[in-house]
Every structure is written in C-alpha cells, then in structure tokens.
Amino acid sequence: MALCHRKRCFSKELLKVNKTVAIRENVDTSLINISDLSGIQFKLTAKEDIIDMADGSKFYTKGQAVGTHNLTKEGKLIIDNLPMGTYELQEIKTLDGLVLNNKKYEVKFVK
C-alpha cells in the first residue's frame, strides 16, 4: 500500500516490537515492577539518507532522529508509515532496576 503526502508517495511500512523482560532467578523482584512496561523508550534513527523515490527529495538525513516511542503497558510498540530505507532502533530509557539494552538494531525496508 502506498501513502501519499504533499504529492510525495512512499511505501507504507510497519515496524513492530514485542519487548520481554528477563529476570535472573537470584534477583529480588520485589524491587522491580514489570507490570507496566510503558516507561521503556526507544529511539528510531535514519541509518542512511531516506529518499523519496518519486522525486529524489529526502524524508530523513542519515543520523536524523525519526522519533522516540514508548512501549505500551504490555511491552508492544508499533511504528507505522515509515518510508523504505534503513533505520536503527535503540532502547534509550528503561525501568528502575532494569539494565538498559544499548544494542542498536538495524531495521531495513526494501522494495
């Protein structure tokens, strides 16, 4: 499906995240509340220039933040209407008592 905005059309892509929290057996879980994961935040960044194939203009410049997004209470995240291209998704904020996952995940949408 294509989405057009101001005569710029791009493929309507969807990114889904299902976050789970793993806790070691020897940890005192009374200090950690994982019943609501909405405090965990991710940043989506363009890993390359994201170009509109119709007219050559840029949606996003390499390194530009596309947005920050919080999980739902259940640990789900949906980012839609993304133009084709390569992005990086990184956890930038986590809950008290949890370790921040610094890994950057590459997300690539191709035609």
Choose between 50 and 33: higher pLDDT. Answer: 50
**Those residues with Cβ within 8 angstroms of residue 80's Cβ, 6 or more apart along the chain or in another chain:** 12, 13, 14, 15
DSSP E strand boundaries for 12-49: 13-18, 41-46
CA 71, distance to chain mean position in Å, is 9
pTM metric for this prediction = 0.81
Per-residue pLDDT band for 27 (boundaries 50, 70, 90) equals: confident
